Structure 1
Amino acid sequence: MNSGEHYAIGTPGTPWAAAEISAWRARRQRQRRYADDVLSVIESFRTRFDIIEYGRLEYAAPSYPLFAVRSRAWNDALPIVLVTGGVHGYETSGVHGALRFIDRHAAHYAGRVNLLVVPCVSPWAYEVIQRWNPDAIDPNRSFFGDSPAPESAALLQLVAPYRDRVRLHVDLHETTDTDESEFRPALAARDGVAYEPGEIPDGFYLVDDSAHPQTAFQQAVLAAVAQVTHIAPADRKGEIIGSPVVAPGVIEYPLEQLGLCAGITQAAYKTTTEVYPDSPSATPEQCIVAQVTAVCAAIDYVLEH
């Protein structure tokens, strides 16, 4: 889609109303199953971890239960590490990276940190491979009081008792070609503004918190990930997705101000991973491994500092 074309739903220049949102939702089709891909795996963790149902989304029959996986030997004297995936449900490696981290690596940190892992924040979006929830709301711009996104509100409630005690939060995401072919054009149409094409970076990068940057931490995570997949270079403007590159592979956002998931705690260390699964130089397996590597490297750094 280029700037001279119109998105299939809505009238150019006019924000969507209920009819347009309904038309958009009617076009979404289930392409995979949360119960099969996510819930069945979480169920297999019950012998090793505490499983918490922290909410339920009543979007469809059956409804979507929301689960977090928590360290069984929780010790209030230890630092808390929060890992979230699937805030944008279409970003597959975030969900499966979180699940694989729990399965293969969480035990390594037993007795050293308290883990709270939420593998799939947005299960409806996971199933239909979309960025938004059924009301055309982006959960990752909705982490604030009285959130209009029930996915975001449920996670905020889960995290509230730990908010001031979390030491590290890693939020697992992807940047895909469909960001430009579908999601940003849909966003422009929804908001009644002109779509301006952007550029998709080829490679892995991180988003730091501009309010409390931790550049050395971000670079340590990237150094580990670079052993798995390539790091995204800056574009000709010295930017990645329109933001200045502050260190190789690192950009910054005001996380809390924008209502982003990575800004929901007072953690000293925060990062949002961004994997590029459409790269000709990366496989789906590499993307999952890159997510897991980022989580482990982040925890290792925090434990060392």
Structure 2
Amino acid sequence: MSPVAFYPVGSPGQPWGEAERTQWRARQQRLRRFDQDVLPRIEALAGSFEPVQYGALDYAGETYPLLALRSPDWNPALPAALVTGGVHGYETSGVMGALEFLEQHAAAYAGRINLLVVPCVNPWGYERINRWNFDAIDPNRNFRQGAPARESTALIELVARSKSQFVLHIDLHETTDSDESEFRPAVAARDGKPFVPGLIPDGFYLVDDTENPQPAFQQAVVAAVEQVTHIAPADEAGEIIGSKVVSRGVIEYPLVALGLCAGITGARYTTTTEVYPDSPRATPAQCNRAQVVAVTAALDYVLAAA
């Protein structure tokens, strides 16, 4: 195996300080616009859903509203479901899938379950096509009280208003080739640790909760998504991204212990989707559709089980 070049910010073995974070930030370019791609679609949905601004970010004079859409006439007697996208800003189908679900399918669930949908948790990262926020922090390891990522703590505060009602949380993600070429090397450099190469799985998979596994629920989602795109196989070690495959297309993480988004509601049914947009067997539209199908399959399962 050829040696891996060190990430071009910082020094090997030394965690970043403010100088390195500033250097990293200077490398990030605004490649797309939240206010052009995402915000108009959220605003267009305001006639059918209640818009909620649950916070705001100000990063060096660039401001971003943190926005959610929720069922109008929220019913305290009904269960609730949370759908989140764009926790990692570069994972495009999570954002677009959440919006497509709202535009095309959410109305079918009116009066049956309360919906809270946050299409783009990390708008600064969305614009830079980056995993992290402005401070080189991964929001998806910081969903805990007092964490340094405002993207994470603001969402926790929003969910707390109705936390006891949530029976479902589906968090929409992607695993991309850039995880291996950019983002895992970056986190190793930031933390002063060696980078250990891994494998990117070709296909869709789910992340269940180690502390609250729901295998029948996960398999129902996998079966629905398989009609849209292929499911990632286990590697030679029986793993996907270093975790044991517990059932076809499913691995487990301890969601709360790792500070992951899917752990914030305490819902019985939780899952994190992982779409592979770099596959030669998948198109962007297919990836968006896979996210939508995952959401509808999860909702249908939960409602049938109620």
* TM-aligned CA deviation for residue 74 of structure 1: 1.3
Aligned to 2:124: 124
CA RMSD, 1 decimal: 1.0
Structure 1 residue 188 displacement after superposition: 0.5
Amino acid at match of 2:242: G
Residue 224 (structure 1) aligns with: 224
Counterpart residue number, 2:162:
162
SS in 2 for 1:58: strand
Q: Which moved more, 1:162-171 or 1:93-102?
A: 162-171
1:137 partnered with 2:137: yes
Alpha-carbon displacement from aligned partner over 1:215-254 (angstroms, at most 9, x marks no partner): 0000000000000000000000000000000000000000
Deviation, structure 1 residue 265: 1.0
Q: Which amino acid aligns with 1:121?
A: V
In structure 2, how many angstroms separate the alpha carbons of the residues matched to 1:21 and 1:89? 18
8 Å CA contact retained: 1:3, 1:195: no
Matches for 1:131-210 after TM superposition, within 5 Å: 131-210=131-210
Gap regions ≥5 residues in structure 1: none
Secondary structure at the residue paired with 1:213? coil
Residue type of the alignment partner of 2:301: Y
Does the residue aligned with 1:78 lie in a helix, a strand or coil? coil
Offset from partner CA, 1:23-73 (integer Å, 9 cap, x none)? 000110000000011110000011111000100001143410010000013
- Cα distance 1:161–1:76, how it changes in 2: closer, same or farther (>3 A)? same
CA drift of 1:196 comes to 0.4
- CA 1:28–1:158 in structure 2 vs 1: closer, same or farther (change >3 Å)? same
Which shows bigger deviation, 197-206 or 155-164?
155-164
The letter of the residue matching 2:263 is G
SS of alignment partner, residue 300 of structure 1:
helix
1:197 Cα deviation from its structure 2 partner:
0.2
Offset at 1:301? 0.1
Give the whole-Å Cα distance in 1 for the aligned partners of 2:129 and 2:64: 15
Secondary structure of the corresponding residue to residue 53 of structure 2:
strand
1:3 Cα deviation after fit: 4.5
Change (3 A) 1:2 1:255: farther
2:251 partner letter: I
* Number of the residue aligned with 1:238: 238
> Contact between 1:3 and 1:194, CA under 8 Å: does it hold in 2?
no
Secondary structure of 1:44's match? helix
Paired amino acid for 2:130: Q
Q: Which residue pairs with 2:295 in the alignment?
A: 295
1:164 to partner: Cα distance? 2.5
Counterpart position of 2:48: 48
* 1:266 corresponding residue in structure 2: 266
- Alpha carbons of 1:3 and 1:83: their partners in 2 closer, same or farther (altered >3 Å)? farther
Deviation of 1:4 after TM superposition, in Å, equals 3.5
Q: Within 2, Cα distance between the matches of 1:2 and 1:21?
A: 28
Counterparts in 2 of 1:240-255, with a 5 A limit?
240-255=240-255
Q: TM-score, normalised by structure 2?
A: 0.98
Q: List structure 1 segments (4+ residues) > 2 angstroms apart after TM superposition.
A: 1-4
Alpha-carbon distance in structure 2 between the residues aligned to 1:156 and 1:15: 28
1:124 maps to a residue whose letter is W
> Which residue of structure 2 aligns with residue 10 of structure 1?
10
- TM-score between the two structures when normalised by the length of structure 1: 0.99
In the alignment, the residues of structure 2 paired with residue 11 and residue 174 of structure 1 have an alpha-carbon distance, to the nearest angstrom, of 29
Checking the alignment, whether the CA contact within 8 Å between 1:143 and 1:153 is kept in structure 2 is yes
Shift, 1:117, TM fit: 0.2
Q: Is the 8 A contact 2:137 2:149 kept in 1?
A: yes
- Sequence identity of aligned pairs in percent? 66
Q: Distance in 1 between matches of 2:56 and 2:13?
A: 36
- Which residue of 2 is the match for residue 78 of structure 1? 78
Q: Is the 8 A contact 1:141 1:260 kept in 2?
A: yes
Is 1:33 the counterpart of 2:71? The answer is no
Q: 2:209, 2:270 within 8 Å by CA — same for their partners in 1? A: yes
Q: Alignment partner of 1:270: what SS?
A: strand
